[in-house]
């Protein structure tokens, strides 16, 4: 009887171990398939910058969630909906902005949210004179994946202050 109880206990432990390993392998596989990378988040800026190059404020505003908050570089007004964000870009795009990142720090919060913050430089063209000048600014983008699409939910940009 003692031998039979020991054999059953060994079998039970083996079955439990196999089940645990199987679940662990399945979860690890799922994690790798859906894992967000810093490269994926960094590419979101490039897509936003490409939208700027179209000159279409609606196309740029479409990169933002409906409830996004924009604290823009060249306006004192906080923009909190699609129409306000598109309005800002309608005016900003007259300067034919072209952005480039100088330094980026990306924090992936979870599978559906990330923050990209750092410094960028915009080359802006004066619509009256045609003169182009660089403007360096600090930025932060908070992204959320909604309905399978990465959207900007919070964007702050401010001119880089002179060192003091």
Which two structure tokens, joined as six digits, stand for 149?
């699409």
Which pLDDT belongs to residue 30? Answer: 39
Domains and CATH numbers, the chain: 37-159 (3.10.450.50)
Q: Walk along the chain (164 residues) and give the pLDDT tens digit of each residue.
A: 555 544 444 444 444 444 443 334 333 433 445 799 999 999 999 999 999 999 999 999 999 999 999 999 989 999 999 999 999 999 999 999 999 999 999 999 999 999 999 999 999 999 999 999 999 999 999 999 999 999 999 999 999 998 86
Strand blocks (E) in the chain: 64-71, 98-110, 113-125, 132-146, 149-159
What are the backbone angles phi and psi of residue 68, rounded to the nearest 5°? -70, 155
Which pLDDT belongs to residue 35? Answer: 92
Which pLDDT belongs to residue 9? Answer: 46
Which pLDDT belongs to residue 138? Answer: 97
Nearest to 158 by CA among 144, 143, 139, 142: 139
Residue found by looking up tokens 């913050």 in the block:
117
Residue 141's Cβ-count burial label (10 Å; 0-12, 13-18, 19+) is: buried
**CB neighbour list of residue 146: distance below 8 Å, 6 or more residues apart:** 65, 112
Cα–Cα–Cα angle for 101, 143, 84, nearest 5°? Answer: 90
Which pLDDT belongs to residue 63? Answer: 98
Q: How far apart are the first and last CA of the chain?
A: 84
Strand blocks (E) in 7-112: 64-71, 98-110
Nearest to 98 by CA among 147, 45, 155: 45
């Amino acid at each position: 009887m003692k031998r039979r109880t020991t054999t059953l206990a060994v079998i039970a432990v083996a079955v439990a171990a196999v089940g645990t390993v199987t679940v662990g392998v399945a979860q690890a596989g799922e994690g790798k398939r859906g894992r967000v990378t810093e490269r994926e988040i960094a590419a979101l800026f490039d897509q936003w910058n490409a939208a700027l190059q179209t000159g279409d404020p609606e196309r740029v505003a479409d990169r933002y969630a409906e409830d996004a908050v924009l604290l823009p570089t060249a306006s004192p007004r906080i923009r909190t909906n699609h129409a306000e964000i598109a309005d800002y870009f309608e005016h900003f795009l007259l300067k034919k902005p072209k952005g480039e990142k100088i330094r980026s720090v990306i924090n992936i919060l979870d599978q559906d949210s990330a923050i990209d913050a750092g410094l960028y430089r915009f080359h802006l063209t004066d619509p009256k004179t045609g003169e182009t000048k660089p403007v360096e600014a600090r930025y932060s983008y908070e992204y959320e994946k909604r309905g399978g699409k990465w959207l900007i939910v919070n964007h702050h940009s401010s001119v880089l202050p002179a060192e003091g």
